[in-house]
């Protein structure tokens, strides 16, 4: 790992990778990789060198985890300042119903990927890429709790004993 990668948070690494490899699909190679990743199973996702570059930059050796991350990122078409749970909870009624949000929060692994991929069209395929990527990598009770507060548009209480999502 380079010194630059050591000082960057995982979300920054993910955002930089997404912007270069997928971005807003302004180049033929971005369009092609995005289409290939969206339709691929885990093994096929791992056949793409940019996915391995992302795994290396994040120091991830779990093939299924990096494949899920890459597939979800391939569905995001624009990076926004607003995080996904806040966008899903916006409006009256919310963009994503409370029941569907609760199912998403309790999801793990492939089910989590599916739930997020199904929610992205509801927000125009736009999300804060760094926030979403970190959440997928560190899907813990602390992350879920933060998403719940974000969904309802409130500030999460400070908890100094909870694990750090960037750990």
The domains of the chain, with CATH numbers, are 3-151 (1.10.520.40)
Q: Which residue has the tokens 């990668």?
A: 5
Residue 161 has pLDDT above 50, yes or no: no
Residue 166 has pLDDT above 50, yes or no: no
pLDDT of residue 33: 97
pTM: 0.88
pLDDT tens by residue, 10-65: 999 999 999 999 998 999 999 999 999 999 999 999 999 999 999 999 999 999 99
């Amino acid at each position: 790992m380079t010194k630059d990668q050591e000082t960057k948070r995982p979300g920054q690494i993910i955002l930089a990778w997404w912007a270069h490899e997928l971005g807003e699909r302004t180049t033929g190679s971005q369009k092609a990789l995005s289409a290939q990743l969206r339709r691929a199973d885990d093994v096929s996702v791992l056949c793409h060198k940019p996915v391995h570059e992302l795994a290396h930059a994040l120091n991830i050796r779990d093939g299924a985890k990096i494949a899920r991350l890459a597939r979800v990122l391939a569905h995001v078409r624009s990076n926004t300042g607003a995080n996904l749970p806040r966008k899903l909870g916006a409006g009256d009624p919310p963009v994503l119903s409370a029941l569907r949000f609760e199912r998403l929060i309790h999801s793990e692994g492939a089910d989590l990927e599916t739930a997020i991929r199904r929610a992205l069209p509801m927000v125009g395929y736009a999300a804060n890429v760094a926030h979403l990527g970190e959440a997928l990598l560190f899907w813990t009770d602390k992350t879920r709790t933060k998403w719940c507060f974000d969904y309802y548009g409130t500030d999460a209480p400070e908890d100094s004993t909870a694990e750090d999502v960037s750990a």
